[in-house]
């Protein structure tokens, strides 16, 4: 990091590229360092944007959606041409979608999915358990949420490979030049839109018991939702539910592979798994959401003009010592743990209950079959300075 | 216990800690804005309140 504004400032300027791949843990340490430096910093990278670093300010920003709007949620795109549903909606329109989606994502609804989720986890883990090694990311954590997503959306599991390829091209930097990366991304996005376009047409003719058919029946302001709205909902579900669970699972198994004492505790007492997951979500929080400021404001003495993009890095909040005792330590039985790894406020992650169950079931079934494992000797694990997970988590165990 | 229903965003962490006391609706949001904690349940109630990410729950 280079401080380019040495004059006393209430929001010092910094310059860093979030696209940089760094060894696992370094980005987290970097955000810890930003917090120590100032409550608000301005990254001069690209169009420039602000970064809030303290728990209190970040929580308040998530709760004040009138000021910190989701009309733009990527710092690089302050004026997006798309409107993911329901995430990028605001006010009452957002509330109406959330109210209708809520019953399908509530704790009770998710309880009812556990058997299907469990059989996916078991099938995958058993496919490599005898091998004595695997890459948690490519062999397990990418496939797992993707198959569950396909089932919930009522799509054939045979389409898994296509989805995985689209996912890689859209959410990861796939290609050797910036042009190639951008091209792969645009092509894959168009393919996903086309795919869901025909799924929606099909469900209009033959509705089933799936999340696409349910959404088609929704109403907003008393009128039926349009195909375009359902399409941008399908696309958002695709973006939101796959990589995030994969990343969280990657960090969970990374942590447990490198902390045998924690692993031994959950193997001996699987009832600890839910609280271990909450703690890993807190300590390894990885999403770095952004909001667009709708009016001139001041945060911790730093003036921010209307129209600016502001990042609200969750890891900056959940590792803030003024909100959590020993924030850098992973205490798998931490209680209470009111972390905001799933965000806060009205846009709080709709899929959080599903994600928790997917993670808990994965760790239960994994440790039943593979209780003792460690990182491969030559493991080099890196991550990006934007929402993503570890690129690889190679682990080995005795057969 | 009182719950600020405007702040509640359906994390259901309160329910996760004490499902009898902190009831939730079909969408996972707090169902009751206020209630008495039965004798003996104070500790779990306090822990449930402290696990709310929105800080929507106040114990009186
Ligand atoms: S934990 Fe807080 S936000 Fe979540 S349901 Fe309970 S009161 Fe609402």
Read off the pLDDT of residues A169-181 as tens digits, 9 standing for 90 and up.
Answer: 887 767 777 788 8
- How do residues A71-96 score in pLDDT, each as one tens digit? 999 888 899 999 999 999 999 999 99
Inter-residue contact A18 to A385 (CB < 8 Å): yes
3-state SS, residue A382: strand
Q: Is the pLDDT of residue A7 over 80?
A: no
- Taking residues B39-46, report their average pLDDT: 89
Burial of B38 (0-12, 13-18, 19+ CB in 10 A): exposed
Torsion sign (Cα): A310, A311, A314, A320: negative
Helix %, strand %, coil % of chain B (to 5): 25, 10, 65
- Measuring from atom 4 of ligand 1, which residue has the nearest CA? B11
Are the Cβ atoms of B16 and A106 closer than 8 angstroms?
A: no
- Measuring from atom 3 of ligand 1, which residue has the nearest CA? B8
pLDDT of amino acid A9 = 64
Q: Which residues of A touch B (CB under 8 A)?
A: 59, 63, 98-99, 102-103, 105-108, 274, 335-340, 342, 344-346, 348, 352-353
Instruction: Tell me what the pLDDT averaged over chain A comes to.
Output: 93
Confidence of residue A242 (pLDDT cuts 50, 70, 90): confident
Chain mean position to CA A182:
21
pLDDT of amino acid A345 = 96
- How do residues A325-384 score in pLDDT, each as one tens digit? 999 999 999 999 999 999 999 999 999 999 999 999 999 999 999 999 999 999 999 988
Are the Cβ atoms of B10 and A102 closer than 8 angstroms?
A: yes
Please state the φ and ψ torsions of residue A185, each to the nearest 5 degrees. Answer: -65, -50
The finding on whether B14 has its CB within 6 A of some atom of ligand 1 is yes
The finding on whether B57 has its CB within 6 A of some atom of ligand 1 is yes
Non-local CB neighbours of A161 within 8 Å, separated by 6+ positions? none
Non-local CB neighbours of A318 within 8 Å, separated by 6+ positions? A55, A282, A283, A285, A324, A327, A339, A340, A341
**Chain B interface mutation, best of A55, A99, A336, highest count of B Cβ atoms under 10 Å:** A336
- Taking residues A133-140, report their average pLDDT: 95
Q: Is the pLDDT of residue A3 over 70?
A: no
Of residues A248 and A185, more confidence is placed in: A248
CA distance A184 to A1: 30
Are the Cβ atoms of B9 and A107 closer than 8 angstroms?
A: no
- Separation of A147 CA from ligand 1 center, angstroms? 30
User: What is the percent of chain A where pLDDT is above 70?
Assistant: 97
Inter-residue contact A18 to A313 (CB < 8 Å): no
The finding on whether B8 has its CB within 6 A of some atom of ligand 1 is yes
Q: Which helix (H) or strand (E) holds B44?
A: helix B42-50
Nearest Cα residue in chain A from B45: A336
DSSP string spanning A244-283? HHHHHHHHHHHHHHH-HHHHHHHHH-GGGHHHHHHHHHHH
The finding on whether B56 has its CB within 6 A of some atom of ligand 1 is yes
Please state the φ and ψ torsions of residue A334, each to the nearest 5 degrees. Answer: -55, 135
- How do residues A30-77 score in pLDDT, each as one tens digit? 999 999 999 999 999 988 999 999 999 999 999 999 999 999 998 888
Chain A closest-CA separation from residue B44 CA (Å)? 10
- Separation of B10 CA from ligand 1 center, angstroms? 5
CA distance B49 to B27: 19
Q: Is the pLDDT of residue A5 over 60?
A: no
- DSSP class of residue A153 equals T
Q: Is the pLDDT of residue A273 over 50?
A: yes
pLDDT of amino acid A261 = 98
ipTM given for this complex: 0.93
The shortest CB-CB distance from B51 to any of A102, A337, A342 is to: A337
- Separation of B52 CA from ligand 1 center, angstroms? 5
- Taking residues A195-200, report their average pLDDT: 96
Chain mean position to CA A267:
26
User: Integer distance in angstroms from the first to the last C-alpha of chain B?
Assistant: 6
Nearest Cα residue in chain B from A59: B54
Confidence of residue A6 (pLDDT cuts 50, 70, 90): very low
CA distance A393 to A155: 29
Alpha helices in chain A (DSSP H): 26-37, 55-63, 91-105, 107-111, 114-128, 143-152, 160-171, 178-205, 211-216, 227-241, 243-258, 260-268, 273-283, 314-318, 352-369
Inter-residue contact A315 to A247 (CB < 8 Å): no
- How do residues A141-168 score in pLDDT, each as one tens digit? 999 999 999 999 999 989 989 988 998 8
Confidence of residue A2 (pLDDT cuts 50, 70, 90): very low
Residues of chain A contacting residue B52, judged by C-beta atoms under 8 Å apart: 338
Confidence of residue A10 (pLDDT cuts 50, 70, 90): confident
Of residues A243 and A104, more confidence is placed in: A104
């Amino acid at each position: 990091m280079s401080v380019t504004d040495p004059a006393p400032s209430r929001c010092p300027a910094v310059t860093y590229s979030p696209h940089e791949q760094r060894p696992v843990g370094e980005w987290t340490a970097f955000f810890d360092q930003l917090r120590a430096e100032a409550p608000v910093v301005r990254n001069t990278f690209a169009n420039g944007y602000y970064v809030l670093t303290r728990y209190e300010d970040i929580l308040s920003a998530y709760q004040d959606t009138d000021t910190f709007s989701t009309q733009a949620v990527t710092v690089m795109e302050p004026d997006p041409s798309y409107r993911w549903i329901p995430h990028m909606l605001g006010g009452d329109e957002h509330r109406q979608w959330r109210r209708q989606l809520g019953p399908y994502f509530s704790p009770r609804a998710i309880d009812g999915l556990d058997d299907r989720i469990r059989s996916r986890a078991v099938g995958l883990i058993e496919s490599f358990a005898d091998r004595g090694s695997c890459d948690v990311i490519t062999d397990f954590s990418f496939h797992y949420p993707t198959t569950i997503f396909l089932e919930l959306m009522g799509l054939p599991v045979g389409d898994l490979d296509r989805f995985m390829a689209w996912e890689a091209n859209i959410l990861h930097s796939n290609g050797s030049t910036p042009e190639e990366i951008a091209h792969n991304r645009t092509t894959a996005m168009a393919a996903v839109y086309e795919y869901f376009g025909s799924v929606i047409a099909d469900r209009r003719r033959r509705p089933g018991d799936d999340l696409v058919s349910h959404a088609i029946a929704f109403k907003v302001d008393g009128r039926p939702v349009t195909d375009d709205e359902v399409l941008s909902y399908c696309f958002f579900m695709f973006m939101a539910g796959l990589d995030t669970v994969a990343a969280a699972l990657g960090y969970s198994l990374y942590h447990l592979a490198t902390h045998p004492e924690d692993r031994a505790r959950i193997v001996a007492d699987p009832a600890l798994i839910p609280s271990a997951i909450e703690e890993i979500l807190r300590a390894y929080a990885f999403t770095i959401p952004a909001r667009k400021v709708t009016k001139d404001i001041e945060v911790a003495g730093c003036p921010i003009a209307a129209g600016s993009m502001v990042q609200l890095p969750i890891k900056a909040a959940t590792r803030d010592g003024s909100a959590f005792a020993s924030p850098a330590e992973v205490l798998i039985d931490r209680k209470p743990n009111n972390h905001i790894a799933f965000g806060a406020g009205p846009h709080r992650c709709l899929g959080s209950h599903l994600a928790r169950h997917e993670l808990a079931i994965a760790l239960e079934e994994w440790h039943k079959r593979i209780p003792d494992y460690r990182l491969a000797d030559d493991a080099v694990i890196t991550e990006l300075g934007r929402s993503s997970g570890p690129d690889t988590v190679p682990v080995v165990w005795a057969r | 216990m009182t719950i600020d229903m405007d702040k509640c965003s359906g994390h259901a962490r309160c329910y996760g800690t004490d499902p009898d006391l902190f009831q939730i609706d079909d969408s996972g949001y707090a169902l009751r804005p206020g209630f008495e904690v039965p004798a003996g349940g104070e500790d779990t109630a306090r822990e449930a309140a402290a696990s709310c990410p929105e800080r929507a729950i106040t114990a009186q």
